Amino acid sequence: MPSPTSLVRPLVRRLHAYVPGEQPKIRGLIKLNTNENPYPPSPKVLAAVRAATDGRLRLYPNPTAQPLREKLARLHRCAPEQIFVGNGSDECLALAVRAFVEPADGSAARRRPAGRSLVQYFTPSYSLYPVLADMHGAVRRPVPLTKDFDLPDVLSRRRGDAWRFDAALTLVTTPNAPSGRGYSRTSLDAICHAQRGVVVLDEAYVDFAEEHALPLALAHPHVLVARTFSKAYSLCFQRVGYFVGHPTLIGALDRIRDSYNVKGLGQIAELATLDDLAYYRANFARIVHTRETLTRQLAALDFDVQPSQTNFLFARPPRFSAKIWQQKLRDRKILVRWFSAPDVRDYLRITIGTDAEARALARAAATILRAR
């Protein structure tokens, strides 16, 4: 009999899978660890989902999410052929790797890897990117951000190998996660101009930022902007994200996706979301207000808080290590995220909750600092 292990591809055996934030089983925790929105979806969205929860669940959903693509196209002033909808933006990102990057041949590690096999991304940024590259047998190419998480001056690196202009796929989280730092459209445009492969601008948190880069996806044939309904639109549960970009790139993704990749209730929820944007815009303003208040409160407690353009803060806590802070907050029923990677291990990532949750966090931090 073959051993089950020997049946699994070596690449899969070696893979370090993505680690999602904890979804706790215990009730009553203040959950500030996975950047979910603290406010529920709009009442109109909940009503639309309820109204669709009937015998129709036996039917397949619209295979191309066409009404949703059309509505998104109107929102972004483009054609439906420029919209790709996925099962969360995670699926969009995974399909981009499969559609645009060649798996590396075995010798890639020994010589200069070919651009067509490179997945390039800044570090720190979304920790799924290296996993997607590994899964595909592509070559990952992490490039450090500056010490304060700004974009490095890659354009001055024309010579040498530090930045690859020929990378098949370059992934940019903008605003950045986990640091929260925002980037200007102008600096992103300069990078897009210089790249010869596909560039994905992952705007998962952009609704909380001052600037967005969507026009770059409409101006450049090799640029895709990724958006999600998860964070700003309170719909993590429904798993819907999308790309905006050139019809040829969108068509390539369409060719390799599952036939019914976007769930029916997801499509219904997103359509209703787009009919009630005013509700969400009011929430963005509340979250940004809470973010600014919490930034000041934590700074007053000697936390080194990065300026944020997102719905989370990235802060280096005083006195104890970030890892110990995470545990001390957990002991007080507050969950925040800590990453063990060397470039971010000194920081806590704190999702912006309601005002009451943010106050509870600030109070807990003050109590921890007072205790001896």
Residue of 210, 345, 218, 289 whose CA lies nearest to 39? 289
Any contact of residue 270 with ligand PLP (CB under 6 A)?
Answer: no
The residue from 65, 119, 198, 204 that contacts ligand PLP (CB under 6 A) is 204
Minimum CB distance to ligand PLP smaller for 134 or for 202:
202
Minimum CB distance to ligand PLP smaller for 92 or for 168:
92
Any contact of residue 207 with ligand PLP (CB under 6 A)?
Answer: no
The residue from 42, 230, 290, 306 that contacts ligand PLP (CB under 6 A) is 230
Site residues (CB under 6 A) for ligand PLP, limited to 84-103? 88-90
Minimum CB distance to ligand PLP smaller for 132 or for 329:
132
Report which residue's Cβ sits closest to ligand PLP.
Answer: 88
- Binding-site string for ligand PLP from residue 116 to residue 145, where x marks contact by CB under 6 A and - marks none: ----------x-------------------
The residue from 117, 179, 228, 267 that contacts ligand PLP (CB under 6 A) is 228
Minimum CB distance to ligand PLP smaller for 204 or for 253:
204
Any contact of residue 179 with ligand PLP (CB under 6 A)?
Answer: no
The residue from 64, 82, 173, 195 that contacts ligand PLP (CB under 6 A) is 173
List residues near ligand PLP by CB under 6 A: 35, 88-90, 126, 173, 177, 202, 204, 228, 230, 236, 241
